[in-house]
Structure 1
Amino acid sequence: MSLVSQSRIVITGAGGQLGRALADRAPEAVALGRADLDITDSDAVAAAVRSGDVVLNCAAYTAVDAAESDRAAARAGNVTGPGILAARCREIGARLVHISTDYVFDGTGERPYEPSDPTGPTSVYGSTKLAGERAVLLADPRATIVRTAWVYTGDRGDFVATMRRLEAERETISVVEDQVGSPTYAPDLAAGLLELVAQHKNPGVVHATGSGAVSRFELARAVFAELGADPDRVRPCGSADFPSPARRPAYSVLSNRSWVAVGLTPLRDWRDALSDALLRVAPR
């Protein structure tokens, strides 16, 4: 029996990498992309969601640098929309699982962040995602917030996919070594979210990422090694060498203890997941 057979699953933001991974693992779900549902439209949300549904909200404004100058759009996608979705879910009697991010923290930590740790976003993207969490819980205290980080599939515009492309295009590349996080393979996260849905529990705010931690530089070297390329072609540099409109957290490691504490299976070690991901998108 499917883990989700007892509930009608609605996936918002189904065109993104996590939304696609969820739809692949739960083909019976109602998968709604941006063209199918505008989560800032309260009437449209009410028409799409019905009592008893479980809504997995993957919809978000994720253009981190663009958000610095496009604040209205970032706020609409990350605050207004989730708040409306949560309010409608509460009115209708649906359960909401909302996806958030490591960017709600300031990135100065020295140990994995727990859900109860003080937040302190340093970018518009992070600020709007944190405000979105608050809007969701204000509108529906029963909602679940799942923070994750460094999500990838390896086949589109994510970090791993970019490293694959650059390996084929350049003799050497420079990658920052002063940003540390936990790479999270989207299909692994999707499986975890469906396990969460099957539990019929509300754990509040939890963290779910791939196990372990690595720098961007080390992750790039691992991608090269998995592709059979010389990892020494990846050279270390600092974030200051790649200035950008938005400040990235230097330390983005999220503790999975809250996830395990409610009986959920830890996501795989990041290196094992990376190997599997690259076998799928770039068979050796």
Structure 2
Amino acid sequence: MSLLKIEVAVEDLAGLEVAAAAGADRVELCTDLARGGTTPPAELIDRCVRRARELVAAREAKPGFDVHVLIRPRATTCDFLGRPEEFVADADEVALMAEQAAEAVDAGAAGVVLGVLTPEGDLDVPALETVRDAALIAAQRSARGLVLTLHRAADAMPGRDARTAAVLTALGLGFHRVLSSGGAARALDGAEDLAAMVDAGEGIIDVCAGGGVRPADVVDLARRTGVMDVHLSARRRPGAPVEPGAPDTLTDPAIVAAAVDAAGEL
């Protein structure tokens, strides 16, 4: 069994089912993926968590298959590289993110994915602490653990030094994982930055490579960077043929399966 984990960003229940059937290790649930993703409604989180548990129990998904939830109340564009303003949040937005994080955990999410920056492009530590604490308190109520992931806000930072420093800051805040493309449009093009982030984490915090990832990139990404997690949307290309009876979702089972197969080569 490969140690490299495949995470698929999905927007709906059908996408989760496709990812599970194709062998993904987990999903990141969001809405509005075309603009980089926003927080899904609590009802959808609840349905997806319940379905994930059913699929695991029926052995129709990997044993550890679970749902992580993006916490991001607004998104204006998916082109956020070098644009920290996309991840700046005022007091009201931070309070909303804290509420959303707690709701996601109460709905059964195994992890939350979040990130807040200052206008200068640094991690907004007080804001992150507020959202983190709300999520952890909700997890404590349910007497279970919670995985914290710093999302691609890291890619809006000004350079490699800022991203490697963010890994260490995230570690100090109790995060378990950092999702990044290495500051590039495609994670493969950010491989050097990703490798530096992996080195900074010293095996204590994971770095998940995500951003423009295709199945053909998976092996090269892992070998060049040392990441143990790869994130992709696996979205069906516009105009691509849809098989008769295929689920009504943009998540393409062939792309997920190809990524999982690629991970199995390692």
Bin for the TM-score computed over the shorter chain: 0.3 to 0.5
Instruction: Kindly name which structure, 1 or 2, has the bigger radius of gyration based on alpha carbons.
Output: 1
